[in-house]
Amino acid sequence: MSNLLEVEGLDVRFAGLHALRDVSLTLAPGQIMAVIGPNGAGKTTLFNAISGYVRPSSGQVRLRGHDVARLSPHAIAEHGIRRTFQNGGLFPALTVLENVLTGLHAQTEGSLVDVILGRSRALASERAMIAKARDLLSLMQMEHMADTRAGDLSGGQQRIVEIVRTVASDPPVLLLDEPAVGLSPLARDQMMDIINRMAGEKGVGILLIEHAVELVMAGADRIMVMAAGQHIAEGTPAEIREDRAVLEAYLGHA
C-alpha cells in the first residue's frame, strides 16, 4: 500500500454551517502536502476532523488502510497521526525536556502500580525515554535548554519544541497547523528545513497548513487548495500557480 493516509468524502456540519464538504486527499510516506486557502476555508476544521477533535458527519480517514475516523483524539494520536496547534500547544509551566517526554507517553512502559511503587521496570523505561528526548533535543541544538521552562522560550523556540514533542514518538503522519506563523525569516527557513528533513529522512507524511505562499511553493511536494469548506484544486506548486480556480478563490470572481 503506497498511501499512508487516505481521507475520503469527509463532511463536517456545525449548527447551521457546512464547514467541510466532501473533502478527499491522499498522502504518501515522505510527502509534504500543503493545505492553503483563504480564512474560513476549512483548513483547521479538516485537521480537527482528521485528528478526532471534530466528529465528521460522514466520510473516512484511513491510516494504512485502517479507518480511524470517529475515534477519540488520543486514540488517533496513538495510532500515529499527530498534530500541532495554530496557537501553540506547549505546556508552559513544564520544562522543555518534560514537554518532549509527554510526547513519549505511550512509549513509556510500566503499569500504574509500577509507577506508584517506583519499581525498576518503570524507572528503566523512564530513563530510556529521557535519553531519547535528550537526543532529539540535541538534533535541534536545544539540549542546553532541556531544563528551561517552556513558557520562557522565544516564540520560535516554542514552535520547534512543539514539533520535537510531536515527532518524538516517530508518528507516520504529521499535521502541522501554521508552524511558521510569527517566526522571523531565519527561523522560518530553519522550520522548513526541519520539516523537509522529517519527510526526507524519516519518511513522515506531512500535511501542512501555511499562509506564507513562498514557503509553500518552495517546500511542498503537492498543494491542496480549499475554499468554503471544499477541495477546489490540487497539484504541484507549479500547477497551482497557473490554476484559475485558485486565483478566483483568493481574488474573488472576476
Residue 92 within binding range of other proteins, rule CB under 8 A = yes
Lookup: cell for 92: 508552559
Among 22, 126, 189, 243, binds other proteins (CB under 8 A): 126
Q: Which of 4, 12, 20, 97 binds other proteins (CB under 8 A)?
A: 97
Single out the segment in contact with other proteins by CB under 8 A; choices: 26-34, 92-100, 152-160, 240-248: 92-100
Q: How many CB atoms lie within 10 A of CB 1?
A: 8
Minimum CB distance to other proteins smaller for 161 or for 227: 161
Pairing of strands 58-63, 5-14: antiparallel
Nearer to other proteins, 129 or 194 (CB): 129
Comparison of 98 and 143: residue with beta carbon closer to other proteins: 98
CA distance 172 to 154: 28
Asked whether the beta carbons of 29 and 172 are under 8 A apart, the reply is yes
Q: Which of residues 54-83 bind other proteins (CB under 8 A)?
A: 72-75, 77-78, 82-83
The answer to whether 22 touches 9, Cβ cutoff 8 Å, is: yes
Determine, following the binding rule CB under 8 A, whether residue 116 of this chain makes contact with other proteins: yes
Query: b/e string for 17-39 if b means 16 or more Cβ within 10 A?
Result: eebbbebebbbebbbbbbbbbee
* Full DSSP string of 63-110: ETTEE-TTS-HHHHHHHTEEE--TT----TTSBHHHHHHHTTGGG---
Among 16, 39, 65, 118, binds other proteins (CB under 8 A): 118
In the bound state with other proteins, the residue whose beta carbon lies nearer, of 63 and 225, is 63
- Residue ranges binding other proteins (CB under 8 A): 51, 53, 72-75, 77-78, 82-85, 89-95, 97-98, 101-106, 108, 110, 112, 115-118, 122-123, 126-127, 129-130, 147, 165-166, 169
